[in-house]
């Protein structure tokens, strides 16, 4: 295979890595670039190009996993997890099957009033609640 085809594959892998930062496309890109180098010097050896590409991809993934990269907990800012634990008060009755409305003590995304359902049982109006998780735009709450 010609070296420029391996280069194109490498660039595509790096672009995918920039769009989806998982580090798996990064190893593929490095493997493709290594295969491009082999193809440049040994253009008729498709077998060695494939072997070099595979070896670089596997070594990159093994080193990545052994070093524990990517295992750190993610920051919760900008995710649903940042809402968990915020307290508020039920404005209407809330049940597991019927949506009610809550007012949070601290605003979330600019708003204090949110639709909510209960994790279990009914929560009477004016009861203090805590967010357990988020489902779409509806808060899942529990009574405290």
Q: Three-class SS of residue 45?
A: coil
Region of 80 on the Ramachandran plot (φ > 0 left; ψ -120 to 50 alpha; else beta) = alpha
Whether residue 103 contacts residue 91, with contact meaning beta carbons closer than 8 Å, is answered with: yes
What are 30-39's pLDDT values in tens digits? 999 999 999 9
Rounded distance, CA 11 to CA 25, Å? 10
Q: CA 35 from chain center: how many Å?
A: 30
% the chain with pLDDT above 90: 52
For residues 139 and 116, the answer to whether their CB atoms sit within 8 Å is: yes
Whether this prediction's pTM lies above 0.85 is answered by no
Strand-pair category, 100-108 with 111-118 = antiparallel
Rounded to 10 degrees, the C-alpha dihedral 59/65/68/72 comes to: 120
Per-residue pLDDT reduced to its tens digit, 40-99: 999 999 999 999 999 999 988 888 777 665 555 554 444 566 788 899 999 999 998 889
Parse the chain into domains and list their residue ranges.
3-66, 80-143
Who contacts 126 (Cβ-Cβ below 8 Å, separation ≥6)? 89, 90
Q: Which residue has the higher pLDDT, 116 or 79?
A: 116
80-143 folds as OB fold (Dihydrolipoamide Acetyltransferase, E2P) (2.40.50)
Residue 55, token pair as written in the block: 């070896």
């Amino acid at each position: 295979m010609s070296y420029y085809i391996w280069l194109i594959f490498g660039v595509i892998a790096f672009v995918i890595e920039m769009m989806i930062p998982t580090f798996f496309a990064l190893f593929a890109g490095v493997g493709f670039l290594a295969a491009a180098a082999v193809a440049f010097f040994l253009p008729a050896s498709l077998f060695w190009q494939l072997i070099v590409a595979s070896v670089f991809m596997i070594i990159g993934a093994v080193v990545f996993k052994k070093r524990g990269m990517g295992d750190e907990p993610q920051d919760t800012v900008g995710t649903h997890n940042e809402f968990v634990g915020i307290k508020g008060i039920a404005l209407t009755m809330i049940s597991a099957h019927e949506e009610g409305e809550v007012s949070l003590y601290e605003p979330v995304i600019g708003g204090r009033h949110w639709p909510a359902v209960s994790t279990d049982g009914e929560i009477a109006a004016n009861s203090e609640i805590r967010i357990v998780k988020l489902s779409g735009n509806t808060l899942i709450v529990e009574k405290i």
